[in-house]
Amino acid sequence: MIRFIQAEVKHAQPISELIQALAKKYVCPTCDESFHETLLGSMTSQSIKDYIQSGYQYHIAIDPESNIIAVIGMRDSNHLYHLFVSDDYQGQGIARKLWEMAKSASLRQTRHTHFTVNSAVNAEHVYKNFGFKRIAGVRTREGMVDVPMRLDLSENV
């Protein structure tokens, strides 16, 4: 059975290992090679610890063997910062479950009227399924290629 919990600093290393591996496979190929080091550097164990300690909210999915198989991270309670699901568990609704947990936790803390995400080009469909919409076209910033998206809660009531 898969468990879903709020992450703590002690989870930083396995979170980092998961998201760096998946970013190398799925995000880096869509970005300029000059940005790979910066991107992966923002996903180190120390970076994840710093994010959690500075108030980012992370939730994780844990498999029966206690391995972290998926993670979501929220910045400022309304910006979806990280969302990664291990290859073996994709397509099983885990990303949606994590999103619902993170969204609910955010809404308990504050009364946001919207959420944002800068989607990797090849993950846009995931966020569209959550109700996010493009707010601009594909953009490139310092080698990072992404799609800015927004979910307005007033449209989804």
Q: What is the pLDDT of residues 77-119, one digit of tens each?
A: 999 999 999 999 999 999 999 999 999 999 998 888 899 999 9
Place of tokens 């396995």: 14
Check the CA dihedral 16-82-143-25 and report its sign.
Answer: positive
Pick the CATH number of 3-111 from 1.10.357.10, 3.40.630.30, 2.40.110.10, 3.40.50.1820: 3.40.630.30
Does the global pTM surpass 0.85?
yes
pLDDT above 70: residue 157: no
Domain segments of the chain: what residues? Answer: 3-111
pLDDT of residue 156: 56
Please, what is the angle between helix 12-22 and helix 45-53, to 10°? 120
What's the rounded mean pLDDT across residues 20-28? Answer: 94
Q: What is the mean pLDDT of residues 63-68?
A: 97
